[in-house]
Structure formats: C-alpha cells, structure tokens
Structure 1
Amino acid sequence: MTTHTSNGQRVPTNDLIADIKQTADRVDGPLTKTEYREHGEHTRKTVVNRFGSWNEMKHELGLEISSKTSEGPRLTTDELLADLRATAEKAGSQHRVDNAYYHEVGSYSVSVYKDRFGSWTEAKQAADLPPQHMIPISADGCVDSVRVVAERVDGNLTCAAYDDHRRPIDPSSVTVIDRVGSWTEAKQQAGVE
C-alpha cells in the first residue's frame, strides 16, 4: 500500500513508517507535528492521509501520545495562545499565520482554536496578532509565487522547500495546492521541473 506526498511522489507505507519511527527516536519526548515537519522526510499531510489523524498514527505505531490531546487534560487558553504566538514568531511575519499555515506548523488543531474562541480571527485577536488583511490569492497568483520561489531554491522544489524559502507575501504550499489542485500541477504551470 502506498500514500502520496503533497508534491505527487508515491511513498511506500513501509518507508513512511520507518521515517516516522526514526524521527521519533531522534526527538525528546513525544513526537510533535512541528518536530516531524522539521526532521521528517514527508509532510504531515501524508501521515494524516495514511493514518487518519496524527494521534491515530501514534497509536498504530506504538508511539507516545502527548498528554496535551483530547485523550489527556484540556489545553488551557494560555497554552493555546502561547503556541499561536510562537508559531507567528517562527513565521517571521504575523500576517502569514493563516489557518493553513498554522495547520502545517502549529502544535494543535485549528478546530481547537475555533471551538475555544469562536473563529480563527478571534483566536488571533486574543493572541494580540493582527488579523489577516490579505486579498484571497488566485490560482494564477499561486503559480506566480511558485515560479518566484523556485528561482531561489536549488534542486527539487518540494512543498517543504517552498515553505522554507517563500516570502511573507507568498501563500503557503497548502494554499497553493488548494487553489491549483495539486503541487505537481502548480509546478507544471509555473514551468518548474
């Protein structure tokens, strides 16, 4: 059985499992989504698509599940806001922390914020972060961003490489995939090999 990465490459399930376990062995404590994004070979989306959820993957592979989940103590508002602020700081620009970016980089589910605060915008306001003031980006705008970022990346332009090298005004790879249809299609339209 195989699964797909967001750039269209097929990943054998055994390779995915081996990478997850190797990454978990290299970190202190339970493997987080952020640590896997930083140290793993594949996207978190690939893991979730294969296993159903992050914690289902951890359960199936026998990995420790953090106590900061629905199975453990309820997250405090301060913990949620601290993670949102830390993610904004990591992004380098608070305007980039839309729910798609947080979904890829943050420690918790965006739905937790929506449940707790009523909306993503209200969660950002509670964290004293500016609301998103960007005009929704079109598919053509996404393709243009892929083209610009590709010029700054040596080698294959993966989703992770794109997100690492994109400018604050560029959409996240998740947004590109959502608008264009797939990472492979976005690269083809941008004329990127």
Structure 2
Amino acid sequence: MPERIPDDELLRELQQLAHKLGTTPKVQDMRDHGAFTAKTYQKRFGSWTDALAAAGFEPNKRGPAKIPADALAEELQQLADELGTTPTKTDMADHGRFSAKVYQERFDSWNNAIMAAGLSVNSQQPAELAADELLAELQRLADELESTPKMTDMRDHGKFSPTTYHTRFGSWNAALEAAGLTPNRQSSTEVEPNNGQNSDV
C-alpha cells in the first residue's frame, strides 16, 4: 500500500502552484501543472475549497479563492529589500512573483498594497517631479533601446507613467523634444490607455 502523503506536503504544493500561477489554483490547474491529483485533495480535505482554505487561501464566492494578503505583502517587502526602495508596478512585473493587477484587485490600488506591506508610498505627483529627472529617464530609456522611446516603452520599461509626461509637458512629443530626442511620428497618434495605472508607485 503506498505511503500516505503528509498533509503539509499537499498544502505546500498548493501554495507553490499558486505562486507559480500568480493566482489561486483551480482544479484544472492542479490537473495540468500539479504534483498530485485534485481527487487526492478532495478525499483528504473533503472538497477542493476546503483544501484551499487549509492552505491559507480565502474563499471568494465570485471566483477562485484569493492569495492570502500576508503572502502578497511579504512578496512586496522582499522585493523592497532586494531593490533598496519601494517597488513600483514595473518592478513587480519584472522581478516579482505576482502581477501588479493581483495587488490592485486585492487592495483596490497599488498604493494601498504598498501601505498594507508597511512600506512608504511615493507621494510625488507629476508636477512635483523634477523635470530633469523625467527627462533623464527618457534619455536613459532611449540609450537602452537605441531608439526614440514610445509611450508603450515607458509604460513597460520606464520608471514613470507616460501620463506623467503628458501632464508635465503637454504631450509625449513635447517631452521627447525637451529631452533632446527626435519625436517619433507615430507617437503623436499613440493614446495612453485609461487603465487605472497612472500612479508612478
């Protein structure tokens, strides 16, 4: 008769799978990517939902259980230690285990997540940011890309939001010109999507 798998090993597998996926595992996720069968969890804990609860996930009637808030906060704190500063959404996307969207959905905003993790929120507004700091970031990104940055480049790889440049300089092309860069003809038609991610933190 095969040896009984310890409960903590089953729960640890659930937690590791959640970290890998960036969301709470569903039965299908365990079937596709997990080390054990979903039926094992259902037999051991009574149901998949009970297994998730035992692993520390909170049930959500509208969908899968959520990753525990303390696990999200711990990841933010760890990333802050690695970077030596409060992480931005870009930092989380580049180096973190979870997406910024997970934090925004869980805490309602990125800044709320930062505060929940006990970290300092960058309260600088676009008008308070030094122009030379904004322009230096544009120039740095241009050097990195070896071409004139587009708004999407700044959003995906830069330190600030493209909206910050629109607010401060009036347009993306005006910001490029102020940085001594040649405006990209296509950039005048680029429209920054209103995705609720205008914070620079």
Classify the TM-score, shorter chain: 0.5 to 0.7
Q: Is 2:146 the counterpart of 1:99? A: no
**Which one of the candidate residues 158, 165, 171 is aligned to 1:119?**
171
2:140 is matched with which residue? 86
Flag the 1:48–1:83 CA change in 2: closer, same or farther, 3 A.
Answer: farther
Q: Is 2:125 the counterpart of 1:70? A: yes
- Asked which structure has the greater CA Rg, the reply is 2
TM-score (norm. length: structure 1): 0.52
Please give the per-residue CA displacement for 1:129-152, whole angstroms capped at 9, x wherever unaligned.
2322459xxxxxxxxxxxxxxxxx
Residues 44 and 104 of structure 1 are in contact (CA less than 8 Å); yes or no, is this contact kept in structure 2? no
Residues 30 and 64 of structure 1 are in contact (CA less than 8 Å); yes or no, is this contact kept in structure 2? yes
Identity value in percent: 31
* Ranges in structure 1 where 5+ consecutive residues have no aligned partner: 1-7, 136-174, 179-193
Tell me the amino acid that sits aligned with residue 25 of structure 1.
D
Aligned-partner Cα distance in 1 for 2:141–2:102 = 21
Tell me the amino acid that sits aligned with residue 93 of structure 1.
E
Q: Displacement, 1:113?
A: 0.7
Q: Is 2:71 the counterpart of 1:19? A: no
Please give the per-residue CA displacement for 1:26-64, whole angstroms capped at 9, x wherever unaligned.
221332445434421234454445444432321232212
Flag the 1:134–1:111 CA change in 2: closer, same or farther, 3 A.
Answer: closer
Q: Is 2:65 the counterpart of 1:10? A: no
RMSD over aligned Cα, in angstroms? 3.5
Q: Displacement, 1:76?
A: 1.2
**Which one of the candidate residues 112, 129, 142 is aligned to 1:56?**
112
DSSP-derived class of the 1:10 partner: coil
Q: Is 2:182 the counterpart of 1:130? A: yes
DSSP-derived class of the 2:160 partner: coil
Aligned-partner Cα distance in 2 for 1:53–1:60 = 11
Aligned-partner Cα distance in 2 for 1:49–1:128 = 38
Tell me the amino acid that sits aligned with residue 36 of structure 1.
M
Aligned-partner Cα distance in 2 for 1:94–1:51 = 37
* Ranges in structure 2 where 5+ consecutive residues have no aligned partner: 1-20, 25-65, 188-192, 196-201
TM-score (norm. length: structure 2): 0.50
Please give the per-residue CA displacement for 1:137-176, whole angstroms capped at 9, x wherever unaligned.
xxxxxxxxxxxxxxxxxxxxxxxxxxxxxxxxxxxxxx9x
